[in-house]
A and B are shown apart, each in its own frame.
Chain A
Amino acid sequence: MIDEREVWAQIGTVLDPELDRPLDALGFVESVRVDGADILIQFRLPTYWCAPNFAYMMAADLRERVGRVAGVGSVTVRLLDHFADGEITEGINAGRTFADVFAGETDGDLDDLRRTFQRKAFLVRQEQLLRALLRVGYSAERLARWRGADVRVDGAALLVRAETGGMETDEADADGEATALVAGTAWRRLDGLARTYRLYRQKRAAVGLSARDADPLFSTADGAPLTGEGVVEHLRAARTIRLNGSFNTILCTALNRITHGVEVDAEALRDETAG
């Protein structure tokens, strides 16, 4: 017996690669049907013209993730109301590659494209974490020197080695309590930042960057360490990428509402540091 909640939990991990937001929150998943061990997922993008390459990635991810649910026999993913819906639906469920399905129209598969957007997502999530840490009171110069070993997760809080962080005990920010030193240890506690940190580490891993104890925790998308000045530059560029993602999310969800009547929870799609 398949637990439909598990199916939805897996669907919830599939992101629109351009928007870096979950498909279900975006309102792109039209329906899920469980029939014995067989699952049918239908999804629909905001317009008839949405790029087929991203549609293919989403379809492939849906099929792969939902296939992980215990007891699943088959997963069929169907794209609706799209200029290439037939090719994409057929190709995905036959396990074919994008290059194969659109033979003659590509010069390779989707790996490079996926990487490009993962790098963008990485930069944005790094920006969100850096901005949160700057708000707490850490300096760009100090942050550039943080290493994997300087940060730990404790529940919903982030623990930062006090010495490395560079904030003296008496200099805690206005929310003093939120950044208090954990009594008797060398760690400063930052409440509520674990999620931002975890999201960041996920994308860091996705672009193939490690953050072992001795590695710099922050870097360019190529893995080069940041300098204090680099942090400022990085934040500016990443902010523009983030704005683009937010703008496209607004556009896509507005078009989806207009064309297909799909309402979404805008709050769930907001990026964390949007003004």
Chain B
Amino acid sequence: MYKTPDGKEVFVVDAHTHLWDGSVENQANKYGKGFIECFYAYHKMGPADTIWGLEEFEKYGVDRMMEDLFVKGYDDIAILQPTYLTDFYKAGFNTTDQNSVIKKRYPDRFILNGSWDPRDGDKGLDELRRLKGEYGITGVKLYTAEWKGASHGWKLTSPESYRFLEECRKLGIVNLHIHKGPTIYPLNKDAFDVGDIDEPASEFTDLRFIVEHAGIPRIEDFCFIAAQDTNVYAGLAVVMALINLRPRYFAELMAHMLFWLGPDRLLFGSDYAIWEPKWIIDKFMAFEMPDDLKAEFNVDLSPEVKEKILGLNAARLYELDMAAHAGKIKGDTFAQRQVAHVMP
């Protein structure tokens, strides 16, 4: 819960978090090492006093995560987004089962998402049914750039992928968080192209396609698609970190997002442990849209819009009853300690 200086409470759903193990012991090869080091470079874009040591960053564990999200940070509930990377990490980087450890310990603090990969075929469909049965997932994180054996990625438009989309529909898995990555097959095409979201989004209008990082580095393609498909959303992880690096560009980006998608289709995410939510939310709440952009795009980052981005939008997608939820977590040790020290 974030409290504004005038006492208003803002409910925070952190729509993008991980409990990963990128430790040297778990790295299977040079790609595993390269992957966590790349994440660490992103981490270092944050404010100087929020930077961790590499070893800590590689593997931080449950207790630190609880402190960072719910005591130091303002999160009320966090969504766990798995990234399997089983070709790079011996036990996987942060699989659904790995993430489930923290969900089991603190069930009211997390929403556990699953994942699927169309290249797994029938076995993958069975696994998706298992995830639904065991964890009751309503969302998945899809990583189209994941390496698997000789394959360097997949497209959402493939017939195999459509089988999984059909299955999601059947199982009531309605929130699809999609992340593009750097090395997708075929290599001569634009690896970051978000074009393959357009077609399934038009076909599966009952599913929500939440494009993580707002399609970075293809924001323009993403905006043009999102303007047409109202079931396409923007996950703002990484975008919001720019508030520290270059506030003016953050403002321009937000103006574009608000112009093309409107305030109801934008979701806050810290991308923990890439960044801790506290500083992002502090800066975001203090941020005001510059007048020239307000005038040009006819948009604003009013307190109401900020509230939607920080929590209301994700709560709607995940059918969270916020009042009931606030009641459930009010008494837990994290909420009590948070209330004690977060007030400005």
Contacts and interface: CB of A to CB of B under 8 A. Distances in A.
A240 interface: yes
A116 B193 CA distance: 11
A8 interface: no
Interface in B262-297: 292-293
A interface residue count range (under 10 / 10 to 19 / 20 to 34 / 35 or more): 35 or more
Contacts of A255: 41-42, 45
A251 B246 CA distance: 10
Contact of B256 (A48, A53, A243): A243
B41 A247 contact: no
Interface string A226-248: 00000000000100110110111
Contacts, number: 107
Interface stretch (B92-100, B134-142, B179-187, B301-309): B179-187
Given A237-B224, A250-B246, A258-B45, A113 B217 contact: no
Interface in B180-210: 181-183, 185-192
Interface stretch (B31-39, B64-72, B311-319): B31-39
B41 A275 contact: no
Contact of A275 (B38, B42, B186, B248): B248
* Residue among B181, B192, B256, B260 having the largest count of chain A Cβ atoms under 10 Å: B256
B93 to A, nearest CB: 14
Contact of B44 (A109, A244, A258): A258
Nearest to A48: B34
Interface in B216-244: 216-220, 223-224, 242
A244 B224 contact: no
Contacts of B189: 53, 107, 112-113
A267 interface: no
A2 to B, nearest CB: 34
Given A18-B217, A49-B35, 8 more contacts: A49-B182, A108-B186, A108-B188, A237-B220, A240-B224, A243-B253, A248-B217, A275-B292
Contacts of B37: 48, 259
9 contacts: A48-B37, A49-B183, A53-B188, A105-B187, A110-B188, A244-B219, A250-B242, A258-B44, A275-B252
A254 B31 CA distance: 22
Nearest to B152: A105
Contacts of A250: 242, 245-246, 249
Contacts of A52: 183, 187
Given A116-B190, A250-B242, A51 B218 contact: no
Given A51-B183, A83-B34, A275-B252, A241 B246 contact: no
A218 interface: no
Given A47-B38, A105-B152, A258-B45, A240 B187 contact: no
Interface in A82-103: 83, 98-99, 102
A169 interface: no
A255 B246 CA distance: 14
A240 B256 contact: yes
Contacts of A113: 188-190
Interface string B69-109: 00000000000000000000000000000000000000000
B45 A49 contact: no
A104 B45 CA distance: 37
Contacts of B220: 120, 237, 240-241, 243-244
A110 B45 CA distance: 32
Contacts of A83: 30-31, 34, 183
B41 A49 contact: no
Nearest to A82: B34
A202 interface: no
A50 interface: yes
Q: Top 10 closest A-B pairs, CB basis?
A: A48-B34, A106-B188, A49-B182, A240-B220, A244-B219, A241-B220, A248-B217, A258-B44, A244-B220, A105-B187
B191 A53 contact: yes
B307 to A, nearest CB: 25
B131 to A, nearest CB: 27
B248 A99 contact: no
Contacts of B248: 275
Nearest to B215: A244
Interface in A141-186: none
A240 B260 CA distance: 10
B38 A48 contact: yes
A49 B292 contact: no
Interface string B15-46: 00000000000000011001101100110110
A109 B185 CA distance: 13
Interface string B147-188: 000101000000000000000000000000000011101111
Nearest to B192: A51
Contact of A240 (B34, B35, B185, B219): B219
Contacts of B190: 51, 53, 113, 116
Contacts of A49: 34-35, 38, 181-183
Contacts of A98: 187-188
A102 B224 CA distance: 31
Contacts of B252: 243, 275
A250 B250 CA distance: 11
Contacts of A47: 38, 41, 182
B293 to A, nearest CB: 8
